[in-house]
């Protein structure tokens, strides 16, 4: 199964925060996560009663090159609407960005000079193929400061169709209500974050920096059912779409919004239990429900030399020995709220949202979650071994994807599922 966008989403949000600083939220089925250290960028709230919007999805930014075609015929126009090139069925053209502007090169010759181009299907209803992947709607090419920006512009429902199964993986009939819940969550997320990356010429990234969007290649019959059955439905609070955070696996209890995001003090982002009547967590079927990571003394030092300079401003040269690593405080949901790392004579405090970026496993990814306990061998002198045992995957705020699967299999419909994770939010049909 594909990994739910949540695992990778934590890392992606760290990356998104960095991008936002310059420019201005897993998976074996469930999700990536819109969360990590950064606070979501505030965006205008779209009122209920709006028509279905068009959405701009950033497929690539600063790319050195890209390809067009290989499937159905395409037409390329300049900003005035004038036809620039016709790409025949099966032809593959190369896109580059020399100093003179965007250049297209293919069997039909070479054209260039424009700073922006639009790619349209040559036949109504056909997809546009970019880099070997098919997309609905149209594609815009823009020469940016470092290369090529590729944007897919399409209607919202088609976008959600390309997100649902990319986030949740292929699902069986017993999981259809979980897919419908994800469709509502993903649609809400998109509506809430329209124009989030407007300075870069699009609304949302096609990656875990926002939501995983795979175009037509990610569409499934089950996902199509989920989108059709919930068309136009979003979660609202006070008449506007909510901050619909989601992730892979909560581990039995979701996190309070402010445990992770400073600006997430919302009535619908409260810590809630994810336990069934028999005391079993709905997300216990997740392959990430329980996890264990281990570091030797040397691997721990090497990890902290890479992570502490950014997270705590500690120079790598000052990390010669690690005397202790301990949990100093836990949040209301039981997650690590503060970690203390003793380095020689100095103690470094790491706030909860940064813990996963500091205690990275050998893979270099974020730690699965901040719900863990630590066992340190040699604590107080020099750590020779550190073990973290934890539960869940992702930041834990809002919608638990594997919990939704468990609830769907227990007979809950999507309305009940989303209300469990966003208490107090209301379902509304925008169009």
Three-class DSSP category at 132: coil
Write down the mean pLDDT value for the chain: 89
pLDDT at 92: 96
Burial class (CB in 10 A: 0-12, 13-18, 19+), 58: buried
Rg (alpha carbons) of the chain, rounded to whole number: 23
pLDDT for residue 359 is more than 70: yes
Pairing state of beta strands 426-429 and 233-237?
A: antiparallel
Asked if residue 102 lies in contact with residue 149, where contact means CB atoms within 8 angstroms, the answer is no
Asked if residue 88 lies in contact with residue 71, where contact means CB atoms within 8 angstroms, the answer is no
pLDDT for residue 329 is more than 90: yes
**Around Cβ 87, how many Cβ atoms within 10 Å?**
25
Asked if residue 86 lies in contact with residue 39, where contact means CB atoms within 8 angstroms, the answer is no
Token pair, residue 318, equals 């000052």
Query: Residue holding tokens 């934890």?
Result: 390
Q: What is the pLDDT of residues 167-216, one digit of tens each?
A: 999 999 999 999 999 999 999 999 999 999 999 999 999 999 999 999 99
pLDDT for residue 14 is more than 90: no
Which contiguous run of DSSP H or E holds residue 384? none
Using alpha carbons, select from 336, 340, 335, 315 the residue that is nearest to residue 325: 340
Cα 49 to Cα 186: distance, rounded to the nearest angstrom: 18
Q: What is the pLDDT of residues 29-69, one digit of tens each?
A: 344 443 333 333 334 445 556 688 999 999 999 999 999 99
Token pair, residue 46, equals 């779209």
Residue 29 is given by DSSP the state S
Q: What is the pLDDT of residues 102-123, one digit of tens each?
A: 999 998 788 888 999 999 999 9
Cα 214 to Cα 152: distance, rounded to the nearest angstrom: 11
pLDDT at 51: 82
């Amino acid at each position: 199964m594909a990994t739910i966008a949540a695992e990778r989403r934590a890392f992606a949000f760290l990356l998104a925060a960095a991008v936002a600083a310059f420019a201005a939220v897993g998976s074996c089925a469930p999700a990536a996560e819109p969360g990590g250290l950064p606070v979501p960028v505030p965006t205008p709230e779209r009122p209920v009663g709006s028509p279905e919007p068009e959405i701009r999805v950033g497929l690539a930014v600063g790319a050195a090159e890209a390809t067009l075609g290989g499937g159905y015929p395409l037409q390329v126009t300049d900003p005035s609407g004038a036809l620039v090139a016709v790409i025949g069925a099966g032809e593959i053209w190369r896109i580059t960005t020399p100093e003179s502007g965007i250049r297209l090169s293919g069997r039909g010759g070479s054209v260039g000079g424009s700073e922006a181009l639009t790619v349209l299907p040559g036949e109504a209803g056909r997809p546009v193929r970019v880099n070997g992947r098919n997309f609905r709607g149209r594609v815009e090419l823009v020469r940016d400061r470092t290369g090529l920006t590729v944007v897919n512009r399409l209607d919202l429902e088609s976008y959600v169709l390309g997100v649902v199964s990319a986030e949740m993986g292929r699902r069986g009939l017993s999981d259809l209500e979980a897919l419908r819940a994800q469709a509502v969550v993903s649609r809400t997320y998109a509506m809430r974050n329209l124009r989030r990356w407007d300075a870069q010429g699009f609304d949302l990234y096609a990656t875990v920096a926002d939501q995983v969007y795979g175009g037509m290649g990610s569409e499934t019959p089950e996902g199509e059912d989920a989108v059709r059955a919930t068309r136009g439905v979003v979660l609202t609070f006070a008449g506007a779409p909510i901050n619909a955070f989601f992730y892979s696996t909560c581990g039995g209890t979701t996190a309070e919004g402010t445990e992770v995001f400073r600006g997430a003090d919302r009535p619908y982002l409260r810590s809630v239990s994810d336990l069934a009547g028999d005391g079993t967590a709905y997300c216990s079927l997740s392959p990430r429900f329980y996890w264990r990571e281990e570091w030797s003394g040397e691997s721990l030092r090497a990890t902290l030399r890479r992570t502490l300079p950014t997270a705590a401003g500690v120079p790598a040269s000052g990390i010669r020995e690690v005397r202790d690593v301990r949990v100093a405080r836990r949040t209301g949901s039981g997650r690590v709220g503060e970690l203390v790392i003793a380095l020689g004579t100095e103690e470094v405090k790491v706030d909860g949202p940064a813990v996963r970026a500091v205690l990275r496993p050998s893979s270099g990814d974020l730690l699965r979650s901040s719900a863990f306990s630590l066992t340190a061998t040699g604590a107080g002198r020099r750590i020779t071994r550190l073990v973290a045992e934890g539960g869940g995957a992702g930041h834990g705020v809002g919608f638990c994807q594997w919990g939704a699967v468990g609830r769907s299999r227990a007979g809950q419909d999507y309305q009940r599922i989303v209300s469990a994770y966003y208490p107090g939010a209301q379902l509304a049909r925008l169009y």
